[in-house]
Structure 1
Amino acid sequence: MNVGKRLFQYALHYKKNFILGLLMLTVAIGAELTGPFIAKTMIDDHILGIERPWHQVDNKEKEAVKYDGNWYKRNDHFDPGEDKGKEIRVIQVKRDYFVVPNKIAFDGERKASNGEVTISFKGKSETYSADKLSTSETFAFYKPEIRGIMKLTMIYFGLLVFASFFQYGQRYMLQRSSNLVIKKIRQDVFAHVQRVAITYFDNQPAGKIVSRITNDTEAIKELFINVLANFFTGIIYLTGIFIALFLLDPKLATICLILVPILVVWIIVYRKFASKYNHKIRSTLSDINGMINESINGMTIIQAFKRQNKTSEEFETMNKEYFTFQNKLLSLNAMTGHNLVLLLKNLAFMAFIWHFGGQALGVGSVISIGVLYAFVDYLNRMFHPVTGMVNQLAQLEQALVSAERVFVLMDEPGQKVTETEIERYKGNVAFQDVTFSYVEGEPVLKNIAFEANQGETVALVGHTGSGKSSIMNLLFRFYDIKQGKIMIDGQDIMKLSKQELRQHMGIVLQDPFLFTGTIASNVSLDNPEITPEQVEKALTDVGAMPFINNLPNGLDEPVIEKGSTLSSGQRQLISFARALAYNPAILILDEATASIDTETEAVIQEALDVLKRGRTTFIIAHRLSTIKSADQILVLDRGVIVERGSHDELMKEKGRYFQMYQLQQGKTETRAVS
């Protein structure tokens, strides 16, 4: 499984947004990186340009400066072919400025004394007569450049404002696109969870699955919003800086390119160690979530049996393991993050000093101060994106590990969801020599064969583990059989999709499950085809309306998680009404009356006499008094049907069913006497 490739495929869903964001990012960075070039122009052409040759002109002109009764214009301000008069030079010696009234043979170290300026370079020396300029005269030579400096300053600030709009746009587009990607990943993984076979949930704690849908997808979100944004920005920024460096000095830019493979190698080495730590961290976090979920659900048992200290010890063991690996990752990040950037930065400046040292720090430099300034500025700017990328390495690895965990869940075999509507079947059910195993080689059902016709009630009885619930799991296709057939109205259920099969089935479990919402929404499950009238009728048929009418909001009474504010009997009645509201052709009651008091059970039994007409009903019950009216009773023992018949027929046989019934009646009588 290539995690990066799959994440890229998700990003392709919103490629237009990403491309637009990257284009805006490129424009913003391009505008921002013009700063050093503008500064270079200011320094070389306007601030230090005063030392370029000046030539006498006849009249006052736009860029001309008046000195000693004559007008002079700088060499670079002449038009091509324009006549140039006498040349003079303005030279800075320390903090003073001097005018040399003729050409200068070469430049170098400067000294001034007694109206003369001496220039020395590589053993040669020239002395020129010079006049010291006053402050006002010096400013006069700078004055023609003020307009150009202001113009460049305005251009620079304009570019910054321009860049800020594109920075906002690129950040908005990239983060919006990232949020859309995460939204789709979460939708896909949650939708896939609905299609995963029931067997997967048998082997996975709920907390671990929740962790993958929430914590791991949140980590992937950070990948797209922060990590990739930083890497995209860094790559484009570095590309722009290297282009600028090559324009300034190709030789040093080539040396600086060595930083790129160093950075790549460092990332590879970091990921090698960080991947191991992050896998352990995410796995331990899932275990912690699973334990927290289990502890909350079992808090009554924990407190009743004084398991608080033991549970806390187990949690502390997991928490300590999580802390240990977090610390290892923290140490790795501390060693690689700041140290890497500092090392690369020092290497770059060592190369800079080595390359420019003899030229820039000595005399007779052929490198302008503007170029030096721009180079230093770009080198400093280079390490901002490098720092950003290095700082995101930990988040990158964590996100990739999280993405891998999410994709492992999404790679679990799923069931195709169909929207096909099929005609309500009659409900004639036949098991034909069905053998089934949860674990290979350990069958829980052996050669099960029986028929249940439309309108019949079939009861399944037997000790715990005899296979009663397994028969219903196979009928609902929570698990698929490999041996034998299950037929409904003469059609093999394996040829129907699971959604089609369950379309006309209803089930009431021993432990009723209610969703957060209202009583009405728990009956209809927000199915628009079930009207409020049908909801109320179903609740009335099962005898639930008396207690519902006593609630402050009636059918709109809020139901919190699992319906914990309602009694077990009330929750079971609502669950029963839910099954009936869907008007199933086949109704399954899996220990449905086990947690209901005798009075409530009597109400349900009365409703069942009406509701079972025309509907095939399967009842799994330990309380044998509730199935006396069943058309057929199947007695199971270790996955085999050992007896079958009506209540009266089985009682006459005086076999296993008779013994079970007598035993329960004896217990009932004993309770009554006591």
Structure 2
Amino acid sequence: MKKPSTERKLLNFALLYRKNILIGLLCLVIAVALELTGPFIAKRLIDEHIVGIEDQWHEVEQPDAYTVSYNGELYKRADRIEEGDEVTDTATILQVGRDYMFVPSSVPLTGSRSYQDGIITITLNGETFKAEAKQLSLSELYRFFEPEQRSIYWLLAIYLGLLFIAAVFQFIHTFILQKTSNRIIKRMRDDVFAHIHRLPVNYFIDQPAGKIVARVTNDTEAIRELYVKVLATFVTSVFYMAGIYVALFLLDVKLALMCLLLIPVIVVWMKLYKHYGGKYNTVVRSTVSDMNGSINEAIQGMSIIQAFRQEKQTSKDFERLNTKHFHYQRKLVRLSALTSFNLVNVLRNIAFVAFLWYFGSASIGVEGIVTAGVLYAFVDYLNRLFQPVTDLVNQLPQLEQARVAAGRVFELLDQPVEPQNHDSVARYRGRIAFQHVTFAYKKGENVLKDINFEVQPGQTAAFVGHTGSGKSSIMNLLFRFYDPQTGDITIDGHSTREWSRQQVRSHMGIVLQDPFIFSGTILSNVTMNDEKISREMAIDALKSVGADRFIEKLPDQYDAVLQEKGDSLSMGERQLISFARALAFDPAILILDEATANIDTETEQIIQRALEVLKQGRTTLVIAHRLSTIQLADQIFVLNRGTMIERGTHSELLSEGGQYYLMYQMQQGAVKEGAM
């Protein structure tokens, strides 16, 4: 089945709020329709109320709102004559140059005109008409305009009112669409962050943290610009252009058809920009992710960088990425500079050349094929047509940037997730069994080979071996971060595959070699904001592991705010908090992953006492480097290159004189040497 395109996925997110979007678009349509009435009102104002006095005027007997007094007689324009008006004579008003002439007879209204010595000459279709005429003074001309003033004022008032109403609808449209856009992005960020928590652990091993952060922050911010600004501009421009084209067709079909040639030009350009802009933006967004990863790594390892004087090399690595980013950004700038304002200007000039060519200089004269009002309206609409075109072209860079960013976000969202099932399962008794388990992170490179062992409820089992022997892999399998290729892992006789990964982990706790402390208070690091763990339970857990000795010396004690990663605490103090965390969650199975490896000898005694509290009533699996810490374990398993070579208690393994014995002797020798 073909996967939906990036555009389709963006649309699906938008459709989650389709009601608001439809309301916003309806307001937009109303605003555009009201705004585009302007040229039509201007056309009527020009043709009927300004240029309209150039017409036949009939002499009438009775005065009304449309009659004009001239030379002691009452005159009324031909299109204002109503039933009941008694017409006694007809006159004509014509414009010659900049002057208006009063002709006391009926003459043609079209044709070329000239005036000399009180005679007006009209040439039309090869025929010549002559008649007496008198030039109207400004005061006399004003009388013929006077009846139209009220209509002109009304039309202007209507237009201003429509503009005000359009502004209100425009505001509602902008507010609703921007509010909805921000909701869409909030929903998308929440979905992406929630999706990250459902991804298998191996995804985070393959992806630098900075790249993932860039997708959740930078890329979604680019998409926000798409919904908030770009799409709003595109939708507005499309509706605006559609409205203008409707108006153009109402004015003149042939001219409107000529203007339609603009649409394929824009479509072709958008496709070209999508091709090249998409290619450049893909590199730019990828490079931004790499830069985030580089910055994150540099900050995390700043102490090592400075200690080994690698500042220059680190800066060079970042400069290489920054130069690549600059290079492709420059290509995008060049691509945009070649178009945007320049492209629209070229199209506008071509449109006006075609407009003039169509009319011709003669056509705009008195024998023109259109009225002055139509001409004004068409020029106005033609000018208005290029504003949305400018907006469309100027938004292409942001559109492509957002489209590429969306592709990266959806690529993350398309990553397969672990099946989710948080239904509670009964607390384990804690019997663990590995049965012929073989496991490889990469196909053909087995890190565990035919592992078999069993740990009874309440027992403490320790795993020892050199680096790379497979100790941590056993814990990863037990937590179901991975599943073995062959064999089975059971808890209380149930295969871990029978439960979801969340259910398997629901009664397990872990303490790592380097405990992770979250930003927040000491208590929040123990409770992990779980409502099931009260403040009293957290404090009891901290006291049980002996953490109260240093906590109660702090100004805010248990509510003390910890810095990122708990850098204000010593390693031992951080470890005690992690022990309290495990104790508060009361796991049936506890895993200690080299929990005392980085602790000094004095602190180790405190940690060992805390461990004894922690292990009570639980099945405990310990990964240990210091063999002195596991002498009381019920079982010790010795691993070597993924195979289990020895098992037994501390005394049994020493008596065998095998690998464990050699490791123990080496550590004892190192201890004695250190004591000398």
TM-score by length of 1: 0.98
2:310 aligns with: 307
Indicate conservation of the 8 Å contact 1:359/1:366, yes or no. Answer: no
1:67 aligns with: 70
* Amino acid paired to 2:545: V
What percent identity do the matched residue pairs reach? Answer: 54
2:434 aligns with: 431
Per-residue CA deviation, residues 323-354 of structure 1 (Å, 9 max, x unaligned), is 00001111111112223212221222122112
* Amino acid paired to 1:571: R
* Residue 200 of structure 1 pairs with residue 203 of structure 2: yes
Per-residue CA deviation, residues 263-322 of structure 1 (Å, 9 max, x unaligned), is 111111111111110111111111111100000000000000000000111111110010
2:573 aligns with: 570
* Amino acid paired to 1:137: E
2:161 aligns with: 158
1:450 aligns with: 453
Match of 1:585 among 588, 597, 609: 588
* Alpha-carbon separation, structure 2, partners of 1:226 and 1:4: 16
* Alpha-carbon separation, structure 2, partners of 1:478 and 1:577: 24
State which drifts further: 390-399 or 194-203: 390-399
Indicate conservation of the 8 Å contact 1:121/1:364, yes or no. Answer: no
Match of 2:15 among 9, 12, 20: 12
* Amino acid paired to 2:45: M
* Amino acid paired to 1:288: M
Measured after TM superposition, the shift of residue 220 of structure 1 is 1.0
Indicate conservation of the 8 Å contact 2:94/2:109, yes or no. Answer: no
Measured after TM superposition, the shift of residue 228 of structure 1 is 1.0
1:622 aligns with: 625
1:167 aligns with: 170
* Alpha-carbon separation, structure 1, partners of 2:369 and 2:60: 29
Measured after TM superposition, the shift of residue 95 of structure 1 is 3.1
Match of 1:346 among 345, 349, 370: 349
1:214 aligns with: 217
What RMSD in Å do the two structures reach over aligned CA positions? 1.3
* Amino acid paired to 2:484: I
1:92 aligns with: 95
Q: In the comparison of the two structures, how many residue pairs are matched?
A: 673
Measured after TM superposition, the shift of residue 9 of structure 1 is 1.0
2:287 aligns with: 284
* Amino acid paired to 2:116: S
Indicate conservation of the 8 Å contact 1:175/1:224, yes or no. Answer: yes
* Alpha-carbon separation, structure 1, partners of 2:339 and 2:63: 64
Cα distance change of structure 1 residues 566 and 360 upon mapping to structure 2, 3 Å threshold? farther
State which drifts further: 203-212 or 1-10: 1-10
Q: Determine helix, strand or coil for the equivalent of 2:338.
A: helix
Match of 1:22 among 22, 25, 37: 25
* Alpha-carbon separation, structure 2, partners of 1:407 and 1:94: 68
* Residue 473 of structure 1 pairs with residue 472 of structure 2: no
* Amino acid paired to 2:333: L
* Alpha-carbon separation, structure 2, partners of 1:160 and 1:344: 28
* Residue 546 of structure 1 pairs with residue 544 of structure 2: no
State which drifts further: 463-472 or 105-114: 105-114
* Alpha-carbon separation, structure 1, partners of 2:84 and 2:145: 25
* Amino acid paired to 1:357: G
Measured after TM superposition, the shift of residue 117 of structure 1 is 2.4
Measured after TM superposition, the shift of residue 127 of structure 1 is 2.7
Unaligned runs of 5+ residues in structure 2 are none
Q: Determine helix, strand or coil for the equivalent of 1:110.
A: strand
Q: Map 1:238-637; keep pairs closer than 5 Å.
A: 238-357=241-360, 360-637=363-640
Match of 2:35 among 19, 28, 32: 32
* Alpha-carbon separation, structure 2, partners of 1:4 and 1:274: 16
* Amino acid paired to 1:276: K
Measured after TM superposition, the shift of residue 38 of structure 1 is 0.4
Q: Determine helix, strand or coil for the equivalent of 2:540.
A: helix
* Alpha-carbon separation, structure 2, partners of 1:125 and 1:579: 109
* Amino acid paired to 2:7: G
Q: Determine helix, strand or coil for the equivalent of 2:92.
A: strand
Indicate conservation of the 8 Å contact 1:633/1:646, yes or no. Answer: yes
TM-score by length of 2: 0.98
2:188 aligns with: 185
Q: Determine helix, strand or coil for the equivalent of 1:85.
A: strand
Indicate conservation of the 8 Å contact 1:359/1:367, yes or no. Answer: no
* Amino acid paired to 1:495: E
Unaligned runs of 5+ residues in structure 1 are none
Indicate conservation of the 8 Å contact 1:270/1:336, yes or no. Answer: no
Q: Determine helix, strand or coil for the equivalent of 1:318.
A: helix
Measured after TM superposition, the shift of residue 358 of structure 1 is 5.0
Q: Determine helix, strand or coil for the equivalent of 1:480.
A: coil
* Alpha-carbon separation, structure 1, partners of 2:108 and 2:501: 96
